[in-house]
Chains A and B, each alone.
Chain A
């Protein structure tokens, strides 16, 4: 049972570089989310999607972009990496009722 799969697990970026965090889920969930977790803090919502072709901003969207061309995939794009984007990123998905949200294992990103 794959669930929510994120890649890469670890990445070091230089300031100004770009990259994409990949996320795919095999549960046919409508809803998908990207969160970031900073040390000693809870998770903050970056972007979310309620279905293919529909995305919207969360609490902390600046510096990121997303797309949702299929139900399964929800990539997160960092265009110009900054040290403030050093964090752990979690992708998640759920059914419309939202009663259970499933998380990926996380992607540890360091910007130097």
Chain B
């Protein structure tokens, strides 16, 4: 079945460092891809999304490009801040099945130190 694999954490960076969190997927159809962020003690918030191959999603300085050839959707940010410390989840949506179920990766904890 469909699945999402993302790099294990925690990822610890200094402020202003470059961030990459890897995400690859397996899907039989043409899923939409998402990055969700979860701040401590809160629910999940949509960070960015891409609905078709070569689309780039972006928000709050974060970017991810839907790469069909490598089945990847890596999250990047050029300069992280302490406030970016959170758990980041990569997910795909089973749009082909018409149920829109999200399949999540296990999450990557990002800790940014001042």
Contact with B along A90-105 (1 / 0, CB 8 A): 1010101111111111
Check if B73 is an interface residue, CB within 8 A of chain A. Answer: no
Distance (Å) between the CB of A48 and the closest chain B CB?
Answer: 6
Given contacts A43-B89, A98-B95, A101-B46, contact A58 B101 (CB under 8 A): yes
Q: Is the CB of B101 within 8 A of A99?
A: no
Q: Is the CB of B46 within 8 A of A100?
A: yes
Q: Is the CB of A103 within 8 A of B89?
A: no
Check if A50 is an interface residue, CB within 8 A of chain B. Answer: yes
Q: How large is the interface on A (under 10, 10 to 19, 20 to 34, 35 or more residues)?
A: 20 to 34
Q: How large is the interface on B (under 10, 10 to 19, 20 to 34, 35 or more residues)?
A: 20 to 34
Stretch at the interface among B13-21, B37-45, B61-69, B75-83: B37-45
Contact with B along A69-110 (1 / 0, CB 8 A): 000000000000000000000101010111111111110000
Q: Is the CB of B95 within 8 A of A90?
A: no
Task: Please give me the residue from chain A that is nearest to B93 by CB atom.
Answer: A98
Q: Is the CB of A103 within 8 A of B104?
A: no
Given contacts A104-B43, A106-B42, contact A94 B100 (CB under 8 A): yes
Check if A12 is an interface residue, CB within 8 A of chain B. Answer: no
Distance (Å) between the CB of B68 and the closest chain A CB?
Answer: 18
Complex interface: chain A residues within 8 A of B4 (CB): 42
3 A-B pairs closest in CB distance: A98-B100, A42-B104, A105-B43
